[in-house]
Amino acid sequence: MGMTVIQRGVWGLLLWPYILTVSMPLDCKEEPGSLTRCPSISQEKLLDRVIHHAELIYRVSEESCSLFEEMFIPLPLRLQSNQAGFACITKTLPIPSSKSEIEQISDKWLLHSVLMLVQSWIEPLVYLQTTLDRYDHAPEMLVNKTKWVSEKLVSLEQGVVALIKKMLDEGTFTTTYNEQGLFQYDTLPDMLESVMRDYTLLSCFKKDAHKMETFLKLLKCRQADKFNCA
């Protein structure tokens, strides 16, 4: 039997401090001025930290989406959200999707795919924080989780950029990806439209967060055994 929203809330309150505690920093602050290359951290350790961040982000995004569903989305609307008109904002990005595509792309393209996904979601998650404030009964835990994920996504971006510089030796690497136009703001949508849009954002982010985690774990596998990773 699935847990009710109240049961999820109880578990969330119990585990939330633990999640905040085990989340390791990615910004290399132990060495001033070292953000760009993280020289004090080995490539292997940095990759482990990046993966750990991605795992936590995906886990919390899953919890947030489930909580939002149970609070605001009746089952018929959940089915409707899968129909045309609620496409994910990252659908047009050149991100590999099939297993064969993912197996064939290089380590460099894996990392840049993760970076594109991370950067494309930073602005929409900030927007989501503001729109949740308009809800009359939005649980504080949902608002806090959204804020936490938004902050950790920025940290993940820093970690992925540092990893690209370490693994690919791109010392002059700059993030030139421009996500402008992927996410469009509507002026004062009606409440139902707003709820469905927010639900679509959460659902799509959950899928993309899983992609980030999968790509990073595939990259780690390739470092250990290049020919036996799927």
* pLDDT 10s digits, 35-48: 344 667 888 999 99
Q: Which of 203, 230, 221, 193 is nearest to 87 (CA)?
A: 203
Residue 1 placed within a domain: no
At 180-210, the pLDDT tens digits run 455 555 555 577 788 888 999 999 999 999 9
- Using alpha carbons only, how large is the chain's radius of gyration in Å? 18
| CATH number of 69's domain | 1.20.1250.10
On the question of pLDDT at 14 being above 70, the answer is no
First to last CA, the chain: 32
**Percent of the chain clearing pLDDT 90 (strictly above):** 41
Total of domains in the chain: 1
User: Is residue 202 included in any domain, yes or no?
Assistant: yes
pLDDT in tens, 109-143: 999 999 999 999 999 999 998 888 888 778 889 99
| Domain with 144 in it | 43-85+94-174+189-224
| Residue 28: inside a domain | no
* CA-to-CA separations, 211 to 8, 21, 191, in angstroms, rounded: 24, 24, 30
Residue 20 lies in a domain: no
Q: Judge whether 14 and 169 are in contact, CB under 8 Å.
A: no
Give pLDDT, residue 136. 78
Task: Please check whether residue 134 lies inside any domain of the structure.
Answer: yes
pLDDT at 57: 97
Residue 60 inside a domain? The answer is: yes
Query: How many residues are present in the chain?
Result: 230
Residue 2 confidence class, pLDDT cut points 50, 70, 90: very low
* Per-residue DSSP letter, 1: -
Would you say residue 130 lies in a domain?
yes
Whether residue 115 lies inside any domain: the answer is yes
